[in-house]
Amino acid sequence: MKNRNQNHNNWMIHDDNTRHKTQDMKNRKHSRNAALLLGPPGSGKTTLANAVAAHEDISKIEAGALLKERIRTDEEMASHLKPYLEKGEMVPTQCVESVLADRLCEITRAHVLFDGFPRTEEQIRRFFALLRYQTLHLRSVAILSLDVDEAIERLVTRRVCSECGAVFNLANNPPERSDTCDQCGGELVRREDDKPEVVRKRFDVYERQTGPVVASFTREYPQLTFEHPSTALISQAAERIQRELTGP
């Protein structure tokens, strides 16, 4: 990746434009809150993140979506990242940090919901360094729970628009036409990482690498952390996160 500082002692990338934009944002905002969303593949994190971010004062940062967008627009990074995503493996932390840093510099809303970072114990330290740098205060940690068989059942019927990224499910949220996006008319495709064998591997990776993250936040921040079954109403979790981010 070009123009990226390789030194992990500082969280943000250090090209001049990013540093100045980030400093401007720090000067504008002094009271900002953050929430963290954790959950296995297929647990409904994207749906919940969208519901939370419907609030006018909350932005969402979805690491997975940002990485996929970077793949579409950056050929060099695409060649590096595609093998990880297609195999259901963790993307290197350095790549995730880069796209998150870029996105944070663009945010204008007061509060931020993080989805997909941190995903490993090593990234927890990086996450809190980011919060400190951005003057963000952690107010909520939501953990979505789901078993692997339900995850596979959900994801094998998921379809994503190749143009606008809209998500449908042939079983419970079908488009009007099975191969066409209702929103923009683009082609609906099944992601490579939604194949059953890849979903199972992604779930195993989540339990092995992100399970300790869930345990750490549950142990260290019990007053901020709550578990929400993926089979329950997403709106209940969304309303709770919104209250905790925007409340006094």
pTM: 0.75
Q: Residue ranges per domain, the chain? A: 16-147+207-246
97 pLDDT above the threshold of 70: yes
Mean pLDDT within 10-39: 57
Are 84 and 91 contacting, i.e. CB atoms less than 8 angstroms apart?
yes
Q: What is the mean pLDDT of the chain?
A: 84
pLDDT score at 118: 94
Q: 93-104 and 75-87 helices cross at what angle (nearest 10)?
A: 120
Percent of the chain whose predicted confidence (pLDDT) is above 70: 88
65 pLDDT above the threshold of 50: yes
Mean pLDDT within 53-58: 96
pLDDT score at 185: 95
16-147+207-246 has CATH 3.40.50.300 classification: yes
Hey, which of 75-79, 124-128, 169-173 has the most confident mean pLDDT?
124-128
Q: How far, in Å, are 50, 89, 197, 219 from residue 24 at the CA level?
A: 27, 35, 45, 35
pLDDT score at 53: 96
Helix (H) or strand (E) holding 114: strand 111-115
Task: Write the secondary structure of the chain as one string of H (helix), E (strand) and C (coil).
Answer: CCCCCCCCCCCCCCCHHHHHHHHHHHHHCCCEEEEEEECCCCCCHHHHHHHHCCCCCEEEEEHHHHHHHHHHHCHHHHHHHHHHHHHCCCCCHHHHHHHHHHHHCCCCCCEEEEECCCCCHHHHHHHHHHHHHCCEEEEEEEEEECCHHHHHHHHCCEEEECCCCCEEECCCECCCECCECCCCCCEEECCHHHCHHHHHHHHHHHHHHHHHHHHHHHHHCCCCEEEEECCCCHHHHHHHHHHHHHCC
pLDDT score at 5: 41
pLDDT score at 27: 41
Are 241 and 140 contacting, i.e. CB atoms less than 8 angstroms apart?
yes
pLDDT score at 10: 42
8 pLDDT above the threshold of 60: no
pLDDT score at 183: 94
